[in-house]
Amino acid sequence: MNLFRRANARHGWTIVLMLLAAFAVSASAQGKTENVILITLDGVRTEEMFGGLDLAVIKAATKKGRVEDTALYKTYWAATPEERRRKVMPFFWNVLMKRHGSIAGDRSKGSTVQITNSHRFSYPGYSEILTGQAHDDEIKSNDKLRNPNPTVLEFLRRKLRVGPQKVAAFASWDVIDWIVESKPGTIASNTGYEKYENLDQQIADTNRLQFEARTPWDSVRSDAYTFRFAMSHLRMYKPRVLYLGLGETDDWAHDQRYDRVLQTLQLTDNYLKQLWEFLQSSPQYKNKTTILITTDHGRGNTPADWHDHGSDVEGAQYIWLAAIGPDSRLLGEWRDSPTIYQNQIAATMSRLLGFDYSEQNPNAGKPIEKLF
Ligand SMILES: [Zn+2]
């Protein structure tokens, strides 16, 4: 009898300890983040991200007269990389990186972010971000082919048990529609010159305008429309996961319009400000939302190939990643850190929301530990 009671008591303690352990595990896996916003800026080099205006690029491009007399130099030049990048992205550096988040990828500070696919162009990069894995033999062109591998967006919609509007993707480049989901219709997706409508009358006007005011490129609409549609969706449907894919930076670079690359980044900085101010004004998002910002690939690192990228272009394997949110206390630039990889982003997004991405893809990169 005595023995029985003691065994029973011991059993009771075991249950209490198991419950405590389970609680500890779930508490560490689920932080404060309830919403995740992923933003990509197509083909933005580490050179501009961390150093602003690259003098070597405009020196090579200035055929007549002095570099100092160019509009670009007058607008964006300053003595240090820190001053120069603040001229391009003042809100990002002065507010987000000072008070709310951090950025990896400045190799001069001992932090490297790399892609693991060997192609160094867009579809493979976006697919690596969204599936957590490079598939070099399957994903080897920018053609409109359905992604054969399920993405983190599809995984999160299933795990969160929410409707399709609650996991949404907006992108300027039309091919992204084919990358974000392996089963069409799993999430809300609006890309390229695609109609976007909801109950908001103002967005109906913006929607009409995207077809009238076109970019030079058939497959990429202006980021101005993509951003406004995404913001309208955010206000109207309050998604738990939003992916915003901005594209113009890449196309202006291919066209060797360095002025437009920097202007687009400056506009993007203002979009980040508008987005941040909206999130801070919303009880669903304030202090419960993590923003990850990154790029699909880098570009060449010399004045001769800064506009180019691809498997044989040195420098295009280097990218960067910013993380802004309530679960990471890191601020500003990462220093002297182990290299992180593009294939870790999907698992990091999942972990932020308390899910283990290896359930969907055991071969995906692991969550970026330093962010937790
Ligand atoms: Zn790209």
The reported pLDDT for the residue numbered 20 is: 62
CA of 318 to the centre of ligand 1 (A): 13
Mean pLDDT of 151-155: 98
CA of 296 to the centre of ligand 1 (A): 6
Tokens of 311: 């498997």
For 230, half-sphere exposure in the C-beta direction (CA atoms, 13 angstrom radius) is: 29
Mean pLDDT of 148-174: 98
CA of 4 to the centre of ligand 1 (A): 68
CA of 122 to the centre of ligand 1 (A): 4
Question: Residue 203 and residue 210: Cα distance in Å, rounded?
Answer: 11
CA of 259 to the centre of ligand 1 (A): 18
Tokens of 262: 């920097």
The reported pLDDT for the residue numbered 259 is: 96
The reported pLDDT for the residue numbered 278 is: 98
The burial class, CB within 10 Å (0-12 / 13-18 / 19+), for 361 is: buried
Q: Which residues contact 12 (CB under 8 A, 6 or more apart)?
A: none
CA of 324 to the centre of ligand 1 (A): 23
Does residue 141 surpass a pLDDT of 80?
yes
Does residue 1 surpass a pLDDT of 50?
no
Band the pLDDT of 62: cuts 50, 70, 90: confident
* DSSP reduced 3-state for 149: coil
Provide, rounded to the nearest whole percent, the portion of the chain with pLDDT above 70: 92
Mean pLDDT of 73-95: 98
* Nearest C-alpha neighbor of 305 from the set 57, 42, 26: 57
CA of 201 to the centre of ligand 1 (A): 33
The reported pLDDT for the residue numbered 254 is: 97
Average pLDDT score over the chain: 94
CA of 94 to the centre of ligand 1 (A): 27
CA of 80 to the centre of ligand 1 (A): 28
CA of 1 to the centre of ligand 1 (A): 73
Question: Residue 109 and residue 318: Cα distance in Å, rounded?
Answer: 14
Q: Is 354 in contact with 30 (CB distance < 8 Å)?
A: yes
CA of 274 to the centre of ligand 1 (A): 24
Provide, rounded to the nearest whole percent, the portion of the chain with pLDDT above 90: 90
Band the pLDDT of 266: cuts 50, 70, 90: very high
DSSP letter at 38? E
CA of 30 to the centre of ligand 1 (A): 32
CA of 121 to the centre of ligand 1 (A): 5
CA of 31 to the centre of ligand 1 (A): 32
CA of 12 to the centre of ligand 1 (A): 58
Mean pLDDT of 297-324: 97
CA of 42 to the centre of ligand 1 (A): 5
Phi/psi at 287 (nearest 5 deg)? Answer: 60, 15
Helix and strand element counts for the chain (H, E): 14, 11
CA of 179 to the centre of ligand 1 (A): 13
Mean pLDDT of 19-33: 62
User: How many CB atoms within 10 Å of residue 131?
Assistant: 29
User: Minimum mean pLDDT among 29-33, 91-95, 143-147: which range?
Assistant: 29-33
Question: Residue 353 and residue 161: Cα distance in Å, rounded?
Answer: 13
Mean pLDDT of 323-349: 97
Tokens of 358: 């290896």
Does residue 351 surpass a pLDDT of 60?
yes
CA of 325 to the centre of ligand 1 (A): 26
